Amino acid sequence: MSEHMALENLTVLDLTRVLAGPFCTMMLADMGANVIKIEVPKGGDDTRSYPPFRAKNLNGERESVYFANINRNKKGITLNLKAPEGKEIFKELVKKADIVVENYRPGVMDKLGLGYDVLKEINPRIIYAAVSGFGCYGPYHLRPGYDILAQAMGGMMSITGSKGGEPTRAGSALGDILGGLHVTIGILAAVNARTITGKGQRVDVSLMDSMIAATENTALKYLETGNIPAPMGNRYAAVSPYDSFTCKGGKVIIAAGNQKLYEKLCNEVLERPDMITDPRFVDMPGRLANQDAIAEVIEERIKDLTPNEAAELVLAHGIPAGPIMNIKEILDDPHAKEREMFVEMDHPTLGKVTVNGCAIKLMDTKPSVRTPAPQLGQNNRDIFEGVLGMTEEQFNTLHEKQVF
């Protein structure tokens, strides 16, 4: 394994808060980027006040574990970008940076005099990435954006939920996470483009766009059939049987995604070869139209098996299957453990804390969780004096003026 990290040569100025932007910069930091998180001097990132909390940290205070999870591996400074001195400090940092990431409403950075058109004159190689609810152009671009709006207006809620039920938000902030992933990909593409052109560029990602992209072939189904897709529970409109099935004490997923797998399921698990030639099930359109009948046979076969037992039975015949797992079961799962999807780290005020691991597995330059999330303004002196060359007298004067 290499002693290097994949993004160790990149410096990122992180102006983001809450989730979509911080998720992006967390990924960059996990892969080795030098991420400098810039927060407002009073209060900092909103998520410092988000649950879950450790009721008493090592200092006897309440502290957010949410913030600790999403901001690990970053350095932290405070800076008042409304103050003239704060603007100048930020511009000096831009000269030394590769990437700026922000998730303000479009136009905010321009009003501050720190938009892309200004920053690219300071550093033509700067990559300026913005993730917002609706992007930097279009009729909705000035609207405030939140995850639930992205899920609603991006089409995901309209196809999520029980059959015949109400549109349902995904259980996590999927719009924010997908927005964070898309802006990360955009940044890395822009870094590569810079090696070709020698110039940086602006990256614009919308939560709504990210959700539309994630609805996959929903638009195609409507355009080809004229039917508006609706919630189907755990079923999939293109494949059957591909669903959750009730067994003893829970549910199991069985995914017979092609004709060969369906025939193996009928012959080897259900012991019902007649279901292969039955006119109702002979091809995929027929199986999609008769999913209830198929489910009845499957559930009769597995009714006395637990979800794990049912999954093992089906897997033994080479058919994809797995139990529906809650978070406690995932934390205990040997595969998730070996893949390091939950990592325990030492935090200066929380003590031992478990955070999510990095889902990207680079086999040579391995991402890792190395340092805890910063305390508010923790690295002010390191950055302002060590990187920008500010004297102690200058530092103290600007601190007294509440520039940081």
Of the candidates 203, 143, 149, 139, the one whose C-alpha atom is nearest the C-alpha of residue 175 is 149
Whether 176 is catalytic: yes
Counting beta carbons within 10 angstroms of the beta carbon of residue 197, is it exposed (0 to 12), middle (13 to 18) or buried (19 or more)? exposed
Residues near 32 by beta carbon (within 8 Å), at least 6 away in sequence: 4, 5, 6, 7, 8, 365, 367
Catalytic-labelled residue, pool 30, 45, 147, 176: 176
Rounded-to-integer distance, Cα 39 and Cα 45, Å: 6
* 367 close to 360: Cβ distance less than 8 angstroms: yes
Say how far apart CA 375 and CA 14 lie, in whole Å. 15
* H or E stretch covering 381: helix 380-381
Residue type, 227: N
At which residue do the structure tokens 């090696």 appear?
195
Tokens 């999870």, residue?
69
Strand partners of residue 129: 101, 203
CA distance 208 to 185: 16
* CA separation for the pair 141, 132 (Å, rounded): 8
User: DSSP letter string over 217-239?
Assistant: THHHHHHHH-PPP---TT-BTTB
Of 115, 128, 178, nearest in space to 150 by CA: 178
The residues assigned a catalytic role are 176
